[in-house]
Structure 1
């Protein structure tokens, strides 16, 4: 006995198509109020995210707020003021150093000049400059020591700054003496002809020697001859050894009183 399976019922194509249509229709979004609001929020959120990303990607002041820009400007202004103050302070320090250096240099220069003047007066250094050269010729004993002393005094009165007779330097402490018919300046014996050199204004010194009744005329009256020559450069090279003071001491300068 055989059994047979009944065939499946016939399929309705129209009914099957209608089921798929209903499924697709259910999957479609419904255009209602909630959907519209969600879409707007999504668009706003996307715009905000894009804007934030773009702003974050930019570097510079355009990304800062107004308050931040004002703060940065204030900081720059304060920094410029500090730099300007520091610049003025450094300039003042520089000017002080320059002025102080100039004053020190001027003081050193003045002290050096004064020291050189004192050395010339003391006869411890050579001296050169315009002046005169005087030559006295004759016989021993014709020119006396008072005449030679007057000659030195006339030169000093005429402004001679350095004087030399023979090989002797004439300074403030010098003396002129006569011994055994010979003339001496300090401990130096003079020999004829006598040569006198003086540094100073040449015209004045020459006139002081040659004026009527002056030294040249006196020397001639004593039987000797004297010739005065003005020169643009006269070298006084004789040196004097300054004596050591045994008793005299400089008076200490008073210290400035405190205010």
Structure 2
């Protein structure tokens, strides 16, 4: 052996002079403080991007975890039945409908901008219409039972047809009528005349309260039957044009119906009596046990329609 010192390796070969990997069990770090990283000595070690992930293994683990979660979600959706999807869609549509309904109701300009008096009048009109509709339903059900009763069915049918013809004639203004009702007198105050708008408001409120027949008279005793097609316009010198006929004040509406209900409708806060008083005029409402509506409306001449039997 030469004079150079050699380290016994246990294999019979001398220890190489260049830098070598540390001896010892695999996986143990080199105890020397200036020892190089073992991975840096390997030609297969990947280059580390300083701006990229610090650990390639960690990045791989994250990618695997992300794709694993996505696979779990996709697998969960594959297990959802078509019935569940339909139920979810219906629930979504129901929620959207409720939200739109609440938004529309909360932003309704008709009710949000109405005064308290207007809301009271609207509520009263709705209650009165509901009561009349219930009465009509009860009368129709009674007529239906009578028509199906057997031997008296024919006689009851004839009586019902005659009664219905009379009602239609009164509504159309082609037949006179009499019964309990009111007289509503409009008197202007000072130079302020009674406008057509105020008279039309009174007619509409009376109809809403169950008026069955009406006529309006002027100071010159001219009378016009009020039907569905009657119009009201302001005339010259404070006069009114009703259904094409000129009337002078003061004006009196004669109406058949329930006196208490119609009187309440006219005198509610914000009603006709209050608005005419605000214009400087006066409305005098009087109950009558029996009033007569004798003015007739000329029937319309039909050009194309013909009755059939």
Counterpart for residue 216 of structure 2: 165
1:123 aligns with 2:173: yes
1:103-252 → structure 2 map (5 Å cutoff): 103-138=153-188, 142-166=193-217, 167-180=223-236, 181-247=238-304, 249=305
TM-score normalised per structure 1? 0.55
Q: Is the 8 A contact 1:141 1:182 kept in 2?
A: no
- Whole-Å Cα distance in 2 between the matches of residues 146 and 246 of structure 1? 33
Could you tell me how far 1:114 is from its partner in structure 2?
0.2
Q: Which has the higher contact order (CA 8 A, sep 6+)?
A: 1
TM-score (norm 2): 0.46
Structure 1 runs, 4 residues or longer, greater than 3 Å off: 249-253
- Relative to its length, the structure with more helix (as a share) is 1
How far apart in 2 are the matches of 1:207 and 1:185? 25
- Using the TM superposition, give the Cα deviation of residue 252 of structure 1 relative to its aligned residue in structure 2, in angstroms: 7.3
How far is the alpha carbon of 1:120 from its aligned partner?
0.2
Query: Which structure has the larger Rg over C-alpha atoms?
Result: 1
Bigger mean CA deviation after superposition, 133-142 or 110-119: 133-142
1:111 CA displacement: 0.4
CA RMSD of aligned residues (A): 2.0
Q: CA deviation at 1:168?
A: 0.6
Q: CA deviation at 1:250?
A: 7.2
Provide the rounded CA distance (Å) in 2 between the counterparts of 1:250 and 1:173.
Answer: 21
Aligned length: 153
Stretches of structure 1 lacking an aligned partner (at least 5 in a row): 1-98, 254-259
